[in-house]
Amino acid sequence: MKIATRILVVLILVLCHFQSSYLQVWTNVILYLVIAVLFGLTTIDIWKSNADFKITVPEILIGVFIVYLIANNALKGTLLGNERFLNYLICFSIYIPLKYLNKRDNKLIEYVFCGILLGLSIELTVGFGQLFGLVPSSNSRFVLSGLFGNPGAFGGYLAIVFPILLASVIIYKDRFKSENLLYAVILGLCCTLCLLILSDSRGAWLGTFVGTLFVFNHKFRIVEYATIILKSKASKRIASITLTISIIFICFALYQYKPESAFGRLFIWKTSKSMTLDNPMTGNGFGFFKSNYGKTQAQYFLNNIASKNEIQVADYVTLAYNEFLEMLIESGIIGLILFLSIIYFALLKRRNQNNAKYHLAAKASLISLLVLSMVSYPFRFMPNLLTMAVCLFVLLNSNNFRKYTIPKYKKTFISVALLCVLGILLLCFRQNYGKYHFRTGYSKVLSSDIDNGITSYKKALPILQNNGEFLFYIGSAYYQKQNFPECIRYLKRATALSSEPNSFITLGNALKEEKRYKEAEQAYLTASGITPSKLYPKYLLAKLYIEMKETDKALDMATFITDTNEKVPTTAGTQIKDEMHNYITQITKTLNMEL
Q: Please tell me the pTM assigned to this model.
A: 0.91
Helices then strands, each counted (H, E), the chain:
26, 2
Residue from 350, 398, 418, 382 nearest 102 by CA: 398
The predicted pLDDT at position 407 comes to 63
Q: What is the pLDDT of residue 22?
A: 46
Contacts from 10-14 at CB under 8 Å and sequence distance 24+? 10/111, 10/112, 10/114, 10/115, 10/118, 11/115, 12/38, 12/94, 12/115, 12/386, 13/112, 13/115, 13/116, 13/118, 13/119, 13/383, 13/386, 13/390, 14/115, 14/118, 14/119, 14/122
Cα separation values, 94 from 26, 89, 112, 389, 421, Å: 21, 9, 12, 7, 9
Task: List per-residue pLDDT tens for the chain, 595 residues long.
Answer: 788 889 999 999 999 998 765 456 778 888 888 988 888 888 887 777 777 777 888 989 998 999 999 999 989 888 776 778 888 888 888 888 888 888 888 888 889 999 999 999 999 999 999 999 999 888 888 999 999 989 999 999 999 999 999 998 887 777 677 778 888 889 999 999 999 999 999 999 999 999 999 999 988 887 777 777 777 777 778 888 888 888 888 888 888 888 888 899 999 999 998 899 889 999 999 989 999 999 999 999 988 888 888 888 889 999 999 999 999 999 999 999 999 999 999 988 665 554 456 888 999 999 999 999 999 999 999 999 999 999 999 998 877 788 877 766 666 776 777 778 778 888 888 888 898 899 999 999 999 999 999 999 999 999 999 899 999 999 999 999 999 999 999 999 999 999 999 999 999 999 999 999 999 999 999 999 999 988 999 999 999 999 998 988 989 899 989 888 777 788 888 899 898 988 888 888 876 666 5
> Would you tell me how many other CB atoms lie within 10 Å of the CB of residue 225?
11
Q: What is the pLDDT of residue 357?
A: 67
- For 581, other C-beta atoms within 10 Å of its C-beta total 14
Q: Which H helix or E strand runs over 56?
A: strand 53-56
CB-side neighbour CA atoms (13 Å) of 62: 25
Beta strands in 184-257 (DSSP E): none
